[in-house]
Structures are given as C-alpha cells and as structure tokens.
Amino acid sequence: MGIEQRDKEGDLAALKRVAETFAVSVTPHLQAQIDPSDPKDPIARQFLPDAAELVTHEHERPDPIGDDAHSPVPGIVHRYPDRVLLKLVNVCPVYCRFCFRREMVGPGAKGLNAAQLDAAIGYIAEHPAIWEVILTGGDPLIASPRRLAQVIDRLNSISHVVVIRIHSRVPVVDPERISSELVAALKASTKTVWLLLHANHAREFVPEARAAIARLVDAGIPMLGQSVLLKGVNDSPAALADLFKAMIANRIKPHYLHHGDLARGTSHFRVSLEQGQALMRRLRGHYSGLLQPTYILDIPGGHGKVPVGPVYAEPAADGESWEVSDPWGGMHHYADPAAD
C-alpha cells in the first residue's frame, strides 16, 4: 500500500471519528455552492467535517456560553431580565463545524415534547419582565409552518411579550424552506417578529437565498444579520466588508459579529481578540456605517455578551479631557464641554 493511499484511508478514518462525535449534515443547496477545486472554499470550511475537529484543548467547554446555568425549565434560557431563549428544536438542516451548541444538537437530539413546551410557555407567562422571546435551537425554521404558527399563537396570548425574535440559518442554507406557508405563519403574529440571519461569507447570498430573504422582507418581517469571526472564512477586511455589503444589499442590517466561542474541536477557526479588534478598526471609516456590526464576546461560563470592539476615546493624562483616535489612526485632543 502506497503512502498516498494510507494517508487517504487515515483521513477517511479521522472524518468518520468526527462524524461519530459531532453531527454532520449538508443540504443539497449548499453542496451545489462548494467549489471542489478550491482547498480554501469558505462554504466547505464552514460545513464539511475536518480532522482538525478531533483536536481539543483544556480551555474548551461542552457548554461554552453557559446555557445550562440559566435554564430554569427545559427549553428556556433566561440569562437577561427582559428576554429568554426558547429552544424549540435541537436539530438543524446543516451543522456548522464551529457551532457552540454542537454537544447538544444533531440527529436523535429531541426537541421539546408537549409537556415541556407547556412548561416553557408557562414560565414565560409567569414572568412579566420578559419582553422578548427568542426562538432558537437548533434552527427553529426547521419546524413545520403549522407548528411554528401554533407556538407563535401561544406567545401571542401573553400580553407582556412584545417581540418574537427568530435566529436561523435556513434562508441561506435551505432557502426552499422559506415557503409562502412559513412566511404566512410568521406574518400572522400579533407580536413584532424579527428574524436574525446567521451568515458568514458573501458567497452564501446566491440567487435562491436572495429570493428567500426577499420573501421574508417583502412580507414586512425585518431582518438583522449575525456572523461569527472565523479563521479561513472571513478573517480579512475585504471578506467582512463583502459579507456586510451582501447583507445590506438584501435589506439585512449587520447586528453582531461574534468572537468564536470555546466549543470543543474548534481551535482551527479561532481568531484572537486583538486580531478581531484590528479588523473592526479597518472597517470603521473605510466603509459605510450601515456595514458596522457590534463585535461581541459571549463571556465563557454564562456571564453574558459584551462589546469588545476597539476603543476610540480614552481619558487624557490631565484627567479632564480625552484623547480620541480617528478611523485612520490619527490622535486628537477633545475637551469635553459638558464635563464638570
């Protein structure tokens, strides 16, 4: 047996171990977007298993953002006073190789049964401070339009809930699911419905995806974008600018750029905070303010999200004024006339 054949068999064995550890699924739509001749294809890197996922580190965690510590009943995560996550399902049409919930999603992972859903809705109804319910999972848009409509109808009956937010990859990974029935289910809500699309590269916005997004926005459903900063996918000013331009062109406002979470087997995607801040600084002043998301770190252990973007203003040495950096690195003195 030649060295090349042994290496190929070794690669296949490693990928099999990855698939036995973490869920793998790629929709036909995404398969058609992958360029097999490009070893750096950003679609393939996000969704195809990689032997690098078998490399784990001590600092990585099975629950990197601490969902479990804030879950009073199954399906609910209540980390912030005015909003909760409602994890309706634990499956997705695709599985991102950097997923922070990769330990709890995948084939065989059960969503909420009827009794658990009753308890989750009951929890929301019993806490009047909850202003916003975020449907997540898994990907909530993998649920049937009928089930989504039923859940939304139950949330409609809770007077203190004002906003229903839906986090989904579906419009860019399985756009045919954005059917007229699904759009009607979302539009029928008496609450304000927002949809946050997760996309990480401009190449995800192919014509089918753009059409799916248009079906949602044309129906009056506002959309925001969230992305993850990923080494080898979007860790350059040009890649981020192209991504955010694609969002804006499709009527999606970039909302969050997430620093990668410490999920097991994701070190090959990791970019340092310093690198992330430098990338955000390169966007400021060079590109429209519409393209500027908030760079966010979800503090490990369940301590919440905080902005970690570059700082442009710092107190001057006199303790009474400020030193302010412009977008191109020039420093300027600012005496705050409103200061005491």
Catalytic entry in 41, 45, 63, 99: 99
45: annotated active-site residue: no
Residue with tokens 């097999």: 36
If one counts every other C-beta atom within 10 angstroms of the C-beta of residue 294, the result is 16
282: annotated active-site residue: no
154: annotated active-site residue: no
Catalytic entry in 97, 101, 203, 281: 101
Strand, coil or helix: 25: coil
96: annotated active-site residue: yes
97: annotated active-site residue: no
Output the CA angle 40-42-48, nearest 5 degrees. Answer: 90
How far is residue 54's CA from residue 39's CA, in Å, rounded to a whole number? 20
**281-287: which pairs have CB atoms within 8 A and are 24 or more residues apart?**
281/310, 281/327, 282/237, 283/237, 283/240, 283/241, 283/244, 284/310, 284/327, 285/326, 285/327, 285/328, 286/237, 286/241, 286/327, 287/241, 287/244, 287/245
Bridge partners (DSSP) listed for residue 168: 197
Catalytic entry in 45, 79, 87, 270: 79
Ramachandran region, residue 325 (left: φ > 0; alpha: ψ -120 to 50; beta: rest):
beta
Catalytic entry in 67, 261, 270, 295: 261
Catalytic entry in 17, 61, 83, 147: 83
How far is residue 280's CA from residue 271's CA, in Å, rounded to a whole number? 13
User: Per residue, what are the HEC states of 285-331?
Assistant: CCECHHHCCEEEEECCCCCCEEECCCCCEEECCCCCCEEEECCCCCE
326: annotated active-site residue: no
99: annotated active-site residue: yes
H helix or E strand, kind and range, residue 266: none
Catalytic entry in 63, 96, 256, 281: 96
How far is residue 168's CA from residue 230's CA, in Å, rounded to a whole number? 18
261: annotated active-site residue: yes
Catalytic entry in 17, 61, 80, 287: 80
How far is residue 108's CA from residue 110's CA, in Å, rounded to a whole number? 6
83: annotated active-site residue: yes
- Which positions are annotated as active-site residues? 79-80, 83, 92, 96, 99, 101, 261, 298, 305
